[in-house]
Structure 1
């Protein structure tokens, strides 16, 4: 077990550990796939290292629809194994991270001229319940038109003919990734963000045995050696592969998706809605005081490190919303924030775009570099298991199952929703001097989970120095996330640790100066670094709230 904290201030010792040993497994990529592999490997007792070029979850793993899907839409393609696996995986992720995974009633309206009618939706949801092993109290209900419009009065009365109500699970994809990384670290793994793989190290037989990496925080170059190297770079896997061998056979095709965020008062749906518009699935998900909508899908061939939301894409989603909720006068100016990301689809020489695979696949180069690509957020744990079993077979060992189905993530030390509520009530009483409402405590618990008391202790320390409650609270979060969650930049904090960029952009604007000052104090930034960080954060903020 690792006794040190998962802190940016421990970077030097992590790098020293990475340099001074040969690892069983080295993972390149700190998204949900890579961190899931690191956790699986550490729980098997292996010595594990992971590096991420930017921040954990800074790629696709913070830009999903933020749903732990049960795989309903795969029924249309008769992809029953995927429905079965994602259904069971959804339950496991819920049990191990209850603070981050929330059941929500999903309304699926039956719309004229779309794929489903009452009969086919009933058949589909029944099969879904059975394949996915849905709990009795979460099984679907089918409603006729009248009851459907009572459940959601905003629906289009001319086109909606009925509905199915079933359960999906909403998550915070960034924090789920971070919690996997942190749990792997606590299990003894060595994980580092802002460390870019620049080259491979090969032995006399041209087999990969290590990498050269650059720490972009202090500019230091260092080496890591390992028996097995796994490329889990998501959409960037080909960028890693090309440093090993020319790419032949299978390759990545990138699909771009965008999401837009409204104030809940502007899009006041009664419950989450998943609907079809001209054959495309669109999700409308309430979260706190906001409602977000997505996603689009289009082939993407531009800069993967700087993905923008286009106004045409926003208008497309608004048009979809107007078709289902015609009474809402939504316009581009009502969008308070947005995000865009790309997911890797697997193409193959000689295959058409229509034949792109959305499943995860493993392939290995003749130098021994193992690559995993494709897949979805929900299936990350099984992807990790498949990688570890692949490595076991390489070593001529019997393939063994993962034990991460029984490993609660670091903030998820709960066995029931009652235990979460009990913690909220206890903390509300114990830290009464902080003048936090029970709802505010609840918001922190559903972010930091069973680690929330550590944050409140820091908040108590800041109480002596800050009269303004919002300033006190956010500066305590800054300190907590630097010392416990490897925050090294403003965007780490505002985007991936707290999601204020996406769901409270006004808070970001109000607090940016004091947060920058506190981060500079803790991390020892000079004026040039302060200026650079603020410039980057303004650019990221502008990209989220303005559209091309």
Structure 2
């Protein structure tokens, strides 16, 4: 094993690096915000460490709507700066990770008694195109009722008045986060999952100077020293803050969202759809042979470690779908999987829930702990820029703009969509002995990007051991993700690296024994660990279809 690989097999070396370096910046939290900060900081030449108590993207960053929004919905609130910033950022994220971020046509129907009519939608989309810097070929179109129903025959004819079409960008949020973490590592950052901050270290002046960390893989404890410590723990930022000082002033209010997954045959929409239902926005997104739908939003005050989809939430979303697509006659039995997540909104004493901030904010305690909270998936680079500018000011340096605008993420080294197509064709031809279809190669490339060849080489190594192609493919993918993507548990693999848990639960059930055997062999699990891992996966499979 290459000692420089982003591999679980190199954990001992990674822990040693974290323990024995003095870092300029230490980031607590391995979601997209924390990983983005680590990448920005290391791109500036700083010594950077990042720790995550679970797996990368194991919180909010794997439970979003999986869209890189351009900020259209902020027009309703006249929040023009956010529309402008997110539109520009969307383009940068796309250019730096073309294998994970791709444009989709979004159908926006005009519905009786909802906020938008033909004039307001035209004005909104025109302003959006200008503010967000939308490319000429991606600017909006407007359609009559007749054309709208031709484009999407499933729409409720009684309420549809027309539609607009514009471009959004879809992504795999957990893989995007992981590739950012991996890119930071490749640039020299010390990055580790399953490393939990348990306490702060302080100097003689009561300034934070480091942290105590528990390795949640082997249970050992170690310390990390750093000049600046950034708390980017997402919904858990207040948990971290309380280890430093009592939380005063602004605090986190958690908003829960859910998504449901259907077979595409059950919800056979022709394109992605974003529609209003009694003022609330609902997205319907087809992905291959699946369609996912979301999201709800409600204040959440329950267990942050085990978030469940409730039956009332399912009934609500299914009801929205039946109102919009009455011919489908959907019910809860059509749901094949689901996910729930929480995002932190920023509250303040004396303010009502309607005044909760969805913007990112930075605040610093009197011990020097820097906390960033709020924000959106699309804006992760700008959040990182603001954190590093905050540190620049503390160091009395001239604040620099973001240094990552042209940093291609690991696997994302493609200059155009045509380059990805050519790469798929090249791999399909070169590895024809593996009997993979072009669609299968395409799916791997849109997961692993330019790194896919390493996976196919692994399949070649396993080819003689497995008579069935499906078995060979899955064990090769397991090994690849352990050795190159820090996979340490079955959930890391099935949920956050491949999304099989979310979009292909039957595959999880069919391959679980084989994947467990392979992972146990590579990671030297004992019988107790094997049983614990399998219990966890059985629970997660059941949870995705058990609605309280």
Give the TM-score category using the shorter length.
over 0.9
What SS does the corresponding residue of 1:50 show, helix, strand or coil? Answer: strand
Rounded to whole Å, the distance in 2 between the matches of 1:403 and 1:244 is: 30
Can you list the C-alpha shifts for 1:57-102, whole angstroms capped at 9, x where unaligned? 0000000000000010100000000000000000000000000001
Task: Note if contact 1:491-1:537 (Cα within 8 Å) is conserved in structure 2.
Answer: yes
1:67-106 → structure 2 map (5 Å cutoff): 67-106=67-106
> Which secondary structure does the structure 2 equivalent of 1:545 belong to?
coil
User: Quick one: distance in 2 between partners of 1:351 and 1:343?
Assistant: 19
Q: Secondary structure at the match of 1:92?
A: helix
Per the TM alignment, residue 491 of structure 1 is displaced from its structure 2 partner at its CA by 0.1
Unaligned residue ranges in structure 2 (runs of 5+)? none
> Does residue 21 of the first structure (1) align with residue 21 of the second (2)?
yes
Please give the residue correspondences for 1:286-325 in structure 2 after superposition, counting only pairs within 5 Å: 286-325=286-325
1:153-232 paired onto structure 2 within 5 Å? 153-232=153-232
C-alpha distance in 2 between matches for 1:196 and 1:99: 31
Does residue 499 of structure 2 align to residue 499 of structure 1? yes
TM-score with structure 1 length normalisation? 0.99
What stretches of structure 1 move > 6 A for 4+ residues in a row? Answer: none
In the alignment, what sits opposite 2:244? 244
Whether the 8 Å CA contact 1:56–1:177 is kept in 2: the answer is: yes
Deviation at 1:298, TM superposition (A): 0.4
Question: Which deviations, in whole Å up to 9, do the C-alpha atoms of 1:132-190 show, x marking residues without a partner?
Answer: 00000000001110000000000000001000000000000000000000000000000
Return the alpha-carbon distance in structure 2 between the equivalents of residues 470 and 58 of structure 1: 27
Equivalent-residue separation in structure 2 for 1:382 and 1:494 (angstroms) = 30
Aligned to 1:383: 383
2:85 aligned counterpart, secondary structure: helix
| CA distance in structure 1 between the partners assigned to 2:350 and 2:275 by the alignment | 34
Is the 8 Å Cα contact of residues 61 and 377 (structure 1) preserved in structure 2?
yes
How many Å separate the matches in 2 of 1:525 and 1:449? 30
Query: Do 1:3 and 1:186's aligned partners in 2 also have CA atoms closer than 8 Å?
Result: no
CA RMSD of aligned residues (A): 0.7
- Hey, what's the Cα distance between the residues in 2 that align with 1:354 and 1:444? 43
Which residue matches 1:9? 9
- Report Cα offsets for 1:229-279 as digits up to 9, x if no partner: 000000000000000000000000000000000000000000000000000
Measured in 1, the distance between the counterparts of 2:498 and 2:544 equals: 15
SS in structure 1 opposite 2:466? coil
What's the CA shift string for 1:451-510, capped at 9, x where partnerless? 000000000011010011111001000000000000000000000000000000000000
Matched position secondary structure for 2:99:
coil
Shift of 1:349: 1.1
Secondary structure of 1:337's aligned partner = strand
Supply the distance in 1 between the matched residues of 2:328 and 2:228 (Cα, whole angstroms): 54
Provide the residue aligned with 1:55 in structure 2: 55
Give the superposition deviation at 1:3.
6.6
Q: Distance in 2 between matches of 1:143 and 1:227?
A: 57
* Secondary structure of 2:58 counterpart: coil
CA contact (8 A) 1:27 1:230 kept: yes
3-state SS of 1:225 partner: strand
CA distance, structure 1, for counterparts of residue 95 and residue 403 of structure 2: 14
Give the match for residue 490 of structure 2.
Answer: 490
Can you give the 5+ residue segments of structure 1 that lack an aligned partner in the other structure? none
Aligned to 2:111: 111
Distance in 1 of aligned mates of 2:3 and 2:82: 38
2:326 is matched with 326
- Report matched runs for 1:421-436 at 5 Å: 421-436=421-436
List per-residue Cα deviations over 1:389-411 (Å, max 9, x = no partner): 10000000000011211000011
**Cα deviation, residue 4, structure 1:** 0.3
C-alpha deviation, 1:541, in angstroms: 1.2
Q: SS where residue 237 of structure 1 aligns?
A: helix
Residue 208 of structure 1: how far off its partner (Å):
0.2
Question: Is 1:151 aligned to residue 151 of structure 2?
Answer: yes
What is the CA–CA distance in structure 2 between the aligned matches of 1:412 and 1:83, rounded to whole Å?
A: 25
Task: Give the CA deviation at 1:547.
Answer: 1.2
**SS of alignment partner, residue 380 of structure 1:** helix
